[in-house]
């Protein structure tokens, strides 16, 4: 990967346009716009650009919040905590709701009942909400307040754990993982569905054999069916490979046409040399910014941010105390920074301390927004846990 002068990267970051809706996205009484959403002790909060927070719900047992691109609503799952032991990752979902960021009305999207892989994603125009659970992919309309199942991949596949909207809000893509078989997969199947009601289709992604290692090797590289993103022109998808398909430790980030075919490596070293490439060393996930201009990974104890083509990248160091981990992160709505959750052990206690930060990309400034302590892994949550804190990842 070519290295570029820091000055070029700084100019790129300065060129990020602020959405025209930014000024209108502020909560009443504040000039600071909304940039993210999170839950704290099961309540839904909005996060402002200046690091201040506002509680929008109470006693909702919320999980996996998602701020709409126009910043008018936050969608979230609700969970049955009586069915979830402290620290458990087997969260029982019982509903999806939205809450307004201005007058705070709450709307029921769907009643659910189950555990397992799930996902929640707003369309770029904020008119539609896609969600998955139990092997079904559904789209909910904000205007009509009706839900439509757009894909039922079938019993051969695990419920999709990720959904990505195309820039035009006309299509969604979701990776499909086959049920466990004899060994890790060598190809990746992706489902693509439109909003017009036509049957969804699948594409097959293959990876160059010369860049992959044999499946019998412990450090072999295989397709990751847990993450996906579109490129800005809507003609390509970004996918990942990791160690033996386990979902922890990216070995490569790839681009593939929306018709499928052979993937092209953007960053990484999948052929047995993952620790030689800082963008993916110890990284668990990649995320594309809301503007589709930037790519971020989490090679702890850093973040790595580059253009969406993997060029002009730089590492942002995190000053983490010993024993602390970055468990979650997400792009701010204006694409100018990241929000992330740091988890630290509490000495002499079974509790963990969670801290939510804003990280500015232009100058690397870090701002503490809020913190909380408790025994659960979602005391503060930006979304699904990407690092297994219990496992030391």
Query: Hey, is 35 helix, strand or coil?
Result: strand
218 confidence band (pLDDT: 50, 70, 90): very low
pLDDT score for 155: 80
Residue 290's CB is within 10 A of a number of other CB atoms, namely 18
φ, ψ of residue 211 to 5 degrees: the values are: -100, 0
What DSSP letter does each residue of 121-160 carry, written as one string? EE-TTSSEEEEEETTEEEEEETTT--EEEEE---TTBPPP
Residue with tokens 């860049």: 211
47-77 pLDDT tens trace: 999 999 999 998 889 989 999 999 999 999 9
89-98 pLDDT tens trace: 557 889 999 9
pLDDT score for 115: 81
Q: Report, as an integer, the average pLDDT of 215-221.
A: 55
214 confidence band (pLDDT: 50, 70, 90): low
Sign for the CA dihedral angle at 102, 356, 343, 241 comes to positive
- CB 307, CB 255: distance < 8 Å: no
Query: Hey, is 345 helix, strand or coil?
Result: strand
Residue 126, burial from CB neighbour count under 10 angstroms (0-12, 13-18, 19+)? middle
301-342 pLDDT tens trace: 889 999 999 988 999 887 778 888 888 999 999 999 999 999
The alpha carbons of the chain give a radius of gyration, in whole angstroms, of 20
134 has a pLDDT exceeding 90: no
8-54 pLDDT tens trace: 333 333 333 333 233 334 445 456 899 999 999 899 999 999 999 99
Residue with tokens 């302590």: 373
Sign for the CA dihedral angle at 380, 382, 384, 389 comes to negative
pLDDT score for 283: 87
What DSSP letter does each residue of 211-245 carry, written as one string? GS--TTSTT-EEEEEEEEEE-TTSSEEEEEEEETT
386 confidence band (pLDDT: 50, 70, 90): low
pLDDT score for 154: 81
117 confidence band (pLDDT: 50, 70, 90): confident
| Cis amide prior to 301 (ω within 30 degrees) | yes
Q: Which of the two residues, 173 and 390, has the higher pLDDT score?
A: 173
370 has a pLDDT exceeding 80: yes
Share the mean pLDDT of the chain.
82
């Amino acid at each position: 990967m070519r290295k570029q002068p820091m000055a070029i990267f700084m100019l790129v970051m300065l060129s990020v346009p602020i959405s025209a809706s930014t000024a209108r996205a502020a909560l009443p009484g504040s000039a600071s716009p909304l940039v993210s959403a999170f839950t704290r002790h099961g309540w839904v909060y909005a996060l402002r650009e200046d690091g201040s927070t506002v509680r929008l719900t109470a006693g909702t047992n919320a999980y996996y919040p998602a701020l709409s691109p126009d910043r008018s609503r936050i969608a979230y799952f609700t969970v049955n905590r009586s069915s979830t032991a402290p620290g458990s990752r087997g969260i029982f979902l019982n509903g999806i709701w939205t809450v307004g960021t201005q007058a705070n009305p709450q709307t029921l999207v769907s009643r659910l009942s189950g555990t397992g892989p799930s996902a929640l994603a707003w369309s770029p125009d904020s008119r539609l909400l896609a969600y998955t659970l139990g092997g079904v992919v559904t789209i909910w309309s904000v205007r009509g307040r009706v839900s439509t199942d757009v894909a039922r991949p079938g019993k051969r596949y695990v419920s999709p754990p990720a959904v990505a909207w195309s820039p035009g809000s006309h299509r969604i893509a979701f990776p499909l993982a086959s049920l466990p078989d004899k060994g890790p997969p060598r190809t990746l199947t992706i489902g693509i569905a439109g909003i017009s009601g036509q049957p969804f289709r699948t594409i097959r992604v293959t990876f160059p054999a010369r860049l992959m290692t044999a499946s019998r090797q412990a450090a072999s590289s295989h397709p990751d069916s847990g993450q996906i993103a579109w490129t800005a022109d809507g003609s390509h998808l970004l996918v990942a490979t990791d160690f033996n398909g386990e979902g922890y430790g990216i070995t490569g980030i790839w681009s593939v046409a929306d018709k499928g075919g052979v993937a092209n490596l953007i960053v990484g070293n999948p052929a047995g040399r993952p620790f030689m490439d800082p963008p993916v060393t110890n990284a668990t996930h990649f995320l594309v910014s809301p503007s589709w201009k930037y790519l971020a990974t989490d090679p702890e104890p850093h973040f790595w941010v580059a253009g969406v083509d993997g060029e002009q990248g730089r590492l942002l160091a995190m000053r983490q105390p010993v024993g602390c981990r970055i468990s979650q992160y997400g792009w701010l709505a204006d694409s100018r920074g990241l929000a992330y959750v740091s988890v630290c052990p509490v000495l002499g206690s079974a509790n963990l301390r969670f801290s939510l930060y804003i990280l500015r990309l232009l100058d690397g400034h870090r701002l503490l927004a809020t913190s909380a302590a408790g025994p659960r892994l979602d005391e503060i949550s930006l979304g699904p846990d990407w690092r297994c804190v219990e496992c030391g990842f």
